[in-house]
Amino acid sequence: MNWITKIIKAGEKIKSAINKRVSKEDVANSDWTSCCKGPILKKDLEGNLWVCPDCNKHHRIKPKQRFDILFGKDNYEIFKTPVPKDDPLNWTDSKSYKDRLKSARKKTGMDCGMMVVSGYINEIKITAVASDFDFLGASMAAAEGEAFLYGIQYAIENKTPFICFSSGGGMRMMESLISLSQMTRTTLAINELKSKNLPYIVVLTDPTAGGITASYAMLGDLEIAESDHCLIAFAGARVIQGTVKEDLPEGFQKSSYVKKTGFVDLIVDRKDLTKKIGTLLSILLNKNSDISTEQDENTGNTQSLSKIA
């Protein structure tokens, strides 16, 4: 009797038996994850800011991990944002929406899929928001809309720039038109921020798609993609290919391709984001900094952001 027959019941298929013994929770609690060359220790990946040292894949990270990288470990204030009534439409599919929300909150430790914080870069106070993909795919609903608007309002009242780390597949179907209305609400809020001459910078992370791309994720004064391989899309590639009946270009909807088409201004690796954002904000806000700015011999104007970046 070998180890396989010890764990498999009579008549049970090997594949089914093995699959039963590894749950998503087991994988999440494991010390290991996988990337291009197979298994890799999570602690090694974390030491490299959750970026694979071999293929440069930027693994998804939690909002708190992102803000620890951006501002320094716990060097920021997390805001408690308004949470509207759960499940306004009494939605149920294979399970109730309330149960899905309960599971997402337990898994992430967040009330909704967005975290709003305030911190400092180069002594510049910044308001920032980031989405958690583990919270129902970082989809957008009423609670996320309230969080985003809370952050914008705080930025306006405190005269700070606003940075959005976008992520998610779009609007949340369980809230139907309530969810879709967040596209309009966030757009109006961003316009109000811009009317106060406060910078709005978007960092597009993998993946950014659907109604998120069609609203607040594409309204930045500057659009920065995190890594070359970040997925940035509206409709899925197969849907588009089936519509146009043509083969799509290589790398279609990846950040390097989207940059060529003009929707992305910069591609910046995670390790360089803090320095790059600090530099850009110092220029936009005309703050004294250590950066050197060259002046045009004829006009005396500082060089363009694209050259500095």
The domain locations on the chain are 61-287+299-308
Query: Could you say which DSSP state residue 95 is in?
Result: S
**Torsion angle of alpha carbons 259, 265, 268, 270, nearest 10°?**
-100
What per-residue confidence (pLDDT) applies to 306? 46
What per-residue confidence (pLDDT) applies to 159? 97
Per-residue pLDDT tens, the chain, 309 aa: give them: 565 565 555 555 655 555 555 666 776 778 888 898 888 999 989 899 999 988 988 999 999 999 999 999 999 999 999 999 999 999 999 999 999 999 999 999 999 999 999 999 999 999 999 999 999 999 999 999 999 999 999 999 999 999 999 999 999 999 999 999 999 999 999 999 999 999 999 999 999 999 999 999 999 999 999 988 899 999 888 888 888 888 888 888 999 999 999 999 999 999 999 999 999 999 999 886 444 444 444 444 444 554 545
Give the CA distances from residue 26 to residues 20, 22, 31, 212, in Å, rounded to whole numbers and listed in that order.
11, 6, 10, 31
The pairs formed by 49-58 with CB atoms below 8 angstroms and a separation of 24 or more are 49/270, 49/271, 50/270, 51/227, 51/269, 51/270, 51/271, 56/227, 56/228, 56/229, 56/269, 57/227, 57/229, 58/205, 58/206, 58/226, 58/227, 58/229, 58/230, 58/269, 58/270
CATH class for domain 61-287+299-308? alpha beta
Model pTM score: 0.84
What per-residue confidence (pLDDT) applies to 297? 42
What per-residue confidence (pLDDT) applies to 154? 98
CB 80 within 8 A of CB 115: no
What per-residue confidence (pLDDT) applies to 75? 97
